[in-house]
């Protein structure tokens, strides 16, 4: 039992797969340190999580909330749960979609932390546009221009022209839920008491140091909470590991390009051509909706395995035969690969991924596939050259060695637990101060921020 045991933490993630499972893994880590978790989601997802995660710690309680996807309904459901919860919640940690959580939390006297699932570099570079969106301003591609002169250290991190246009369309225009994703993120940061970032000083200390002055509030690294490979996987996936077991150690490039963006036919064929030209064995995990696997196997010379549908990515990346990872540069995927010391072939497709790719290049753990900077197109020859550079060429040896060195830190459970413990210490200290000032019952009568303001003025 952790020495700061006894907190009751309410967790409210977005329902998207990667967000849901990242928050669930964080909840698992917190519960293993002796704290009670109320993990809230819609009934169908709660039922699915309960069935697929039967090994959750006893202190993780999956709680169904009945609401539709409109903010007003979810806000009312959350408030009702907080008012009736026993024991009363000590903290709320939340995702960016329900950006109004701080309003509910303050009304009920409960502190809240916004958990940011993207890295510190992407967060810092995006803040001017995110802040503008939170103010109701219109974000244009030029607001996502390069960082020249803005940071106290040299950096090449910047969006390409085609990426800036895409990010404006995807992140800063109103969508089916109303407010844009970017404006929600900005409002969540402004409203919360603490920002907790899925990052660590071991990876991006210089970028983490920028966030507190930008956000004007406490910012804590949570570590990367990389998931571990499950002891058992779906029997349908056994063939993947049988195939991997027949390959030589460190020779296979794993190809997985996320679930949020579908490749078009031209992109798919250029990747297939690049894998053929590389001459290396590969395992390519495709979404079920993407191109026919039989055609791709023919086009890649039959040297690899094309798998359609879900696959156990963590188990695959940790297999001894896998030596590199061709990735879309989603932050979760990068974290998973780096814990195993895999060098990276970087092919960003959307959102913060371009910034993540350039960060990995600066950290010397990967190489980015060359692209046309106006339209983002790429060709198979460049896929092949980058794969071979990262996997086998002498020029990429430093990249491979650096990835292995970094895995000793990012693959360390002790390192990640330390960051979670630091966050929990802050949470426990604040909860004790609050209870000492007004008592558990009195918390429902006062704003948490108002209490702290009064305390600071005494």
Residue 375 shares a structural domain with residue 429: no
151 located within any domain: no
Residue 406 shares a structural domain with residue 419: no
Tally of structural domains, the chain: 2
pLDDT value at position 229?
61
Crossing angle of helices 353-362 and 120-134, rounded to 10°: 150
153 located within any domain: no
136 located within any domain: no
Distance CA 174, CA 340 (A): 38
Distance CA 34, CA 2 (A): 5
Residue 306 shares a structural domain with residue 342: yes
333 located within any domain: yes
pLDDT value at position 38?
96
What is the residue range of 184's domain? 8-120+169-226+413-457
pLDDT value at position 256?
94
pLDDT value at position 452?
44
The angle formed by the CA atoms of residues 42, 47 and 53, to the nearest 5 degrees, is 115
Residue 266 shares a structural domain with residue 378: yes
The angle formed by the CA atoms of residues 164, 216 and 130, to the nearest 5 degrees, is 20
Residue 429 shares a structural domain with residue 358: no
Q: What pTM was estimated for this model as a whole?
A: 0.89
Residue 271 shares a structural domain with residue 338: yes
Residue 81 shares a structural domain with residue 206: yes
Residues 127-169 pLDDT 10s: 999 999 999 999 999 888 765 557 888 888 999 999 999 999 9
* CATH classification at residue 252: 3.40.50.2000
pLDDT value at position 253?
97
Q: If we measure between CA atoms, which residue out of 285, 336, 280 comes closest to residue 308?
A: 285
163 located within any domain: no
Residue 405 shares a structural domain with residue 439: no
Give the number of other CB atoms < 10 A from CB of residue 100: 18
Residue 428 shares a structural domain with residue 365: no
Integer angstrom CA distances of residue 176 from 18, 166, 179, 406: 19, 17, 8, 40
Residue 317 shares a structural domain with residue 197: no
Residue 284 shares a structural domain with residue 372: yes
Do the beta carbons of residue 335 and residue 415 sit within 8 Å?
Answer: no
282 located within any domain: yes
1 located within any domain: no
Low-confidence stretches of the chain (pLDDT < 70) are: 1-5, 67-72, 146-149, 228-233, 288-302, 434-458
Residue 89 shares a structural domain with residue 209: yes
131 located within any domain: no
């Amino acid at each position: 039992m952790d020495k700061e045991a006894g907190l009751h933490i309410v967790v409210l993630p977005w329902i998207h797969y990667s967000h849901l499972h990242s928050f669930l893994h964080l909840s698992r880590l917190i519960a293993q340190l002796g704290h009670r978790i109320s993990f809230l989601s819609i009934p169908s997802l709660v039922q699915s999580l309960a069935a697929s995660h039967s090994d959750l710690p006893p202190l993780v309680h999956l709680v169904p909330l009945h609401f539709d996807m409109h903010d007003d309904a979810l806000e009312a459901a959350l408030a009702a749960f907080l008012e009736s919860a026993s024991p009363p919640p000590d903290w709320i940690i939340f995702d960016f979609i329900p950006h109004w959580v701080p309003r509910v939390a303050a009304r009920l006297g409960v502190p809240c932390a916004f958990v940011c699932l993207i890295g510190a570099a992407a967060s810092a570079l995006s803040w001017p546009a995110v802040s503008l969106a939170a103010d109701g301003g219109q974000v244009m591609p030029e607001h996502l221009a390069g960082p020249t002169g803005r940071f106290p250290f040299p950096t090449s991190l910047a969006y390409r022209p085609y990426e800036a246009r895409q990010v404006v369309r995807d992140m800063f225009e109103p969508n089916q839920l109303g407010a844009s994703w970017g404006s929600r993120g900005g409002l969540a940061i402004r409203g919360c008491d603490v920002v907790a970032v899925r990052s660590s000083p071991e990876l991006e200390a210089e970028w983490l140091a920028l966030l507190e002055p930008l956000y004007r509030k406490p910012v804590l690294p949570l570590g990367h909470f990389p998931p571990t490979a499950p002891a058992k996987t779906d029997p349908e996936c056994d063939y993947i590991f049988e195939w991997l077991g027949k390959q030589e150690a460190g020779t296979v490039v794993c190809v997985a390009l996320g679930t949020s963006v579908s490749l078009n036919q031209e992109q798919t064929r250029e990747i297939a051509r690049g894998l053929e030209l590389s001459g290396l064995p590969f395992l390519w995990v495709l979404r079920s909706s993407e191109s026919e696997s039989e055609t791709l196997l023919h086009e890649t010379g039959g040297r690899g395995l094309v798998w359609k549908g879900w696959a156990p990515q963590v188990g695959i990346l940790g297999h001894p035969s896998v030596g590199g990872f061709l990735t879309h540069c989603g932050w979760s995927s990068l974290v998973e690969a780096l814990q195993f010391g895999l060098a990276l072939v970087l092919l960003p497709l959307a959102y913060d991924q371009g910034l993540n790719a350039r960060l990995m290049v600066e950290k010397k753990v990967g190489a980015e596939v060359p692209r046309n900077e106006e339209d983002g197109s790429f060709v198979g020859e460049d896929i092949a050259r980058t794969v071979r550079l990262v996997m086998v060429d002498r020029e990429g040896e430093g990249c491979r060695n650096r990835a292995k060195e970094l895995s000793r830190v990012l693959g360390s459970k002790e390192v990640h637990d330390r960051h979670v413990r630091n966050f929990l210490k802050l949470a426990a200290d604040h909860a004790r101060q609050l209870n000492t000032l007004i008592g558990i019952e009195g918390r429902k009568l006062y704003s948490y921020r108002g209490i702290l303001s009064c305390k600071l003025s005494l």
